[in-house]
Chains A and B, each alone.
Chain A
Amino acid sequence: MKFRTLAAVLAAALAVGMSACGSSGSSTGTSTGKSSGPTGSTLTIADVAPFTGPDAALGPTYLATCYGATMAINNAGGVLGHKLACKTVDTRGDPADAVPAVNQLFATTSSLALVIGCTSDEAASVVPIINGHKMAMFCMTGQSEFDHVVFPYFYRLVPPDLEESYAMVAIAQELHYKRIALAFGNDIGSQTFIQPAIGALKKAGITLTTNQTLDLKASTFRTEAEAIIQSHPDAIMTEALGNADPTLFAEVKQLNGGKMIPIVATSAAISPPFFKAAAAAVGASTFASDFRADNLVTETSGPAYQAFSAALLAEQGKVPGATGNFTTYLSAPGGVHLYDGINLAALAMIMSKSTSPSVYAPDMITIGNGVPGATVVHSFAQGAAALKAGKTIRYEGPGGPTSFDSYHDSTGIFQVDTYSASGAVNVVGNLTADQLRALSG
């Protein structure tokens, strides 16, 4: 009897190893890509992102934005008689879990009007599905495979990952680092940075001391940390979300005689859960003093920022899964740019008088890029009022001006962020386009 049990063990163990496959937070009803439901019904914005697993910090970041943006839109009267609501779809950061979760979303959500999220973890598998359903999406992926492939319903307000790799190397240059160790997670989203970074390091004349790939499911990285220390880098360039980076940092500090090696991270590290975990692992002040990250330039003052911060901070304490210093979400790249994406979509719906993506999506480009003589607006409320008055508008949100290309990509320029010991994000510099161009392949 016991023998039969044993025979089943490996299969079952594999199932556990991949554990808890396919969970989705879906709950409401669907999309045909054309529908919107009757006037007065609630339209759904789906946050398709990891809420569990190593990249679990991403989903709540986008959800905070969704809550803030939809609250502001609803307070301004909604869209064509509809209120907006947010819905979570947990991809667990795994394409295998993301596909059924997204299929379930479309099967059960009749009022779907927009998808946000779709990170590098799952974009390659879910973007074709979402596009096939003719549903507009703002994706937080920098994967280069989307640089020159036409998905009519795919929109992106973040740069290709390779540019972010250049930005990290540019930070290393500015800080006069001569030796860099790479430590990236073994997930799709992190691995995409490595080759551009290696190329850029070479161009910058910086020595690559070691390239460690971190298994995001592993519980310790002592040997990897020791290998990094033995290679004597001036800094570590990294993106390994979940527990991986905090664990690595703790072990580097421990094995390096209590001294941290400076960190240069991607914009994904700008999130409250990441700071919380890293600060707990090595101490907040230690972490803050040795950390830099690239981030897209976003506004920190002015009317667009004021509207954004008011909307987001009004949702403090209401967003499921949001932990840590809530104000960090004001600087999180997803937070800012998806807020702009939701506003662009909502204004385009009003402009086109339709909640069908096939009708309203082209107007997102019109409103984002603007036309000569357009009235510049900085919030949904301003835009809705201007459209009601019969004006043409150009939306400039806290993410700055938008300029969609023929692939619906609109990328910004980079800034350098640090954390304070409280977890607040500080902007300490900017990276010019020339700097990045000099490092490009």
Chain B
Amino acid sequence: MTVFLASIGFGLVTAAVLAIASVGFTLQFGVTDVLNLAYGAIMIAGAFIAYAVNQAGTSVWLGLAVAVAACSAGSVLLNSGVYTPFQRRGTSPITMVIVSLGMTLIIEFSVQAIAGGTGVSYTMGQGRTFHLGGLILTTVQLVIIALSLVIMAGVHTLLRYTRLGKAMRATAANKNLARNCGIRTSRVITITWALTGGLCGLAGVVFAMDSGSFDPTSTDVFLVLILAAVFLGGPGQAYGAMLGAAVIGIATEVSAAFIPADYKYVAAFVVLLLMLGVRPAGLLGARA
């Protein structure tokens, strides 16, 4: 029972990290129409940028800010330098997936070439450990959860109450129609890459903070969890991604309390398949 309760708390932390990453991923996909599988590689690049800043003797939180900015800029460059030229040539969506897969390897191996293949950790404390009725969470984990909630609220505000958010939703729904209605879709797309790239960098750093140790390949499996959360919620649905992240994150950790822990991701995917069996478009996909 104790392990079960604790695992729910751990699941919340995993869900918080996953939510930040999944919301960025699904927004990016929904608005830009690019299934950017290089997202995980950019995440880990962000984590290593923060590590470099941290190793220079400064706070990892400053590193987080630098990583967010760098990944934001990097994502815009990735789109303008790689994806857009392919899209202009009429490259099919499936080919774009392969292009993004290629970028994954290029980015990941580049990070590896620079940082080496072995694990590193941020120089930071985890703060006090709080026991909250069976849940065991550190200060840093509580900050990650709070950060995630702030990001979710921010995304909600952006999408519901700002002109940019409405333009993003319009572009996601129908790019041509949005353009004909006077929305500068190319600009919206560029801003989306910048915003989601920033979220990607943020997700990478909190992912690395949450892990005791990370290396250039650490997000390989995590990307699959991101995809699971995105598909569970309904592709392109920001709120769906939040919900999907919560389900996948908690299912992963709670299952580890009852089954051999190396099968915990399998359990998460069983949940995904069962839910998709009931709602093939995802939990919130039908509302799209």
Contact = CB atoms under 8 A, between A and B. Distances in A.
A297 to B, nearest CB: 27
Contact of B105 (A1, A20, A323): A20
Contact of B93 (A1, A223, A282): A1
Interface range for A: 35 or more
B94 interface: yes
Contacts of B229: none
A18 B40 CA distance: 13
Interface string A1-23: 11011101110111111111001
B37 A220 contact: no
Interface in A94-115: none
A5 B217 contact: no
A19 B108 contact: yes
Interface in A203-235: 212-215, 217-224, 226-227, 230
Interface stretch (B68-76, B78-86, B118-126, B189-197): B118-126
B109 to A, nearest CB: 7
A223 B101 contact: no
Contacts of B211: 219-220, 243, 247
Given A2-B33, A217-B220, A8 B121 contact: no
Interface string B13-56: 11000000000000000000101010010000000000000000
A328 to B, nearest CB: 13
A250 B214 CA distance: 12
Q: Interface majority SS on B: helix, strand, loop or mixed?
A: helix
Given A17-B220, A223-B10, A250 B261 contact: no
Nearest to A276: B118
Interface stretch (B1-9, B57-65, B153-161, B239-247): B1-9
B214 A9 contact: no
Contacts of B221: 17, 215, 217-219
B126 A254 contact: yes
A251 B212 contact: yes
Contacts of B214: 219, 243
Interface stretch (A50-58, A62-70, A79-87, A164-172): A50-58
B180 to A, nearest CB: 18
The 10 A-B residue pairs whose C-beta atoms are closest, nearest first, are A250-B212, A247-B212, A5-B93, A56-B117, A280-B121, A246-B213, A223-B256, A222-B10, A277-B119, A243-B213
Interface of B: 2-3, 6-7, 10, 13-14, 33, 35, 37, 40, 92-94, 96-98, 101, 104-105, 108-109, 112, 116-121, 123, 126, 129, 136, 138, 207, 210-224, 227, 231, 235-236, 253-254, 256-257, 260-262, 264-265
